[in-house]
Amino acid sequence: MAGKTVLYVEDEENDLLFMQRAFRKAGIGPALRAVGNGQEAIDYLAGNGGFADRARNPLPAVVLLDLNLPVISGFEVLEWLKSQAELSALPVVVFSSSAREEDRRRAFDLGAKEYFEKPNSAFLFSPVVEVLRERWLEAEDGTGL
């Protein structure tokens, strides 16, 4: 797991704080990187602008993506990723407040590997972090299986 990171794309400050706490509690706090909207996610993944330094902004092992984002939506980030040959295999786990079946289906159609509905309690972020750790950060082959 050494050196593997998770890029969390989230505009809700409280959700970011809850996720940071869950990562720290799991002992993997340094693995979490965060951006606040879809454009920043694309810039981070493409290594544009302030994200060009890969030592400080490494490519993640997995992207944890909210769908309802300002500037560029999570769906648009998924579409962009799918169009990037060098990034199209990057696993994306959707973490959204949307319980709509059509959102879930569209996310999977656009390449998401998993879909978690955001819990209504900060204490329930930890199980999501455990899944990320087991499937994407500790998996030897990086397949999440």
Give 77-111 pLDDT, tens digit per residue.
Answer: 999 999 999 999 999 999 999 999 999 999 999 99
Query: Is the confidence at residue 123, as pLDDT, over 70?
Result: yes
What share of the chain has pLDDT > 70, as a percent? 94
Q: In this structure, is residue 47 part of a structural domain?
A: yes
Mean pLDDT score of the chain: 93
**Can you give the pLDDT at residue 145?**
44
**Can you give the pLDDT at residue 118?**
94
pTM: 0.93
Q: Which domain, by its residues, includes 38?
A: 6-137
What share of the chain has pLDDT > 90, as a percent? 88
Q: Which of 56, 57, 54, 78 has its CA nearest to residue 66? A: 78
Q: In this structure, is residue 110 part of a structural domain?
A: yes
The total number of structural domains in the chain stands at: 1
* Confidence class for position 3, pLDDT limits 50, 70, 90: confident
Q: In this structure, is residue 145 part of a structural domain?
A: no
First to last CA, the chain: 15
Q: In this structure, is residue 90 part of a structural domain?
A: yes
CATH number of 93's domain = 3.40.50.2300
Q: Which is more confident, 37 or 1?
A: 37
**Can you give the pLDDT at residue 2?**
54
User: CB-based contacts of 76: which residues, under 8 Å, 6+ apart?
Assistant: 38
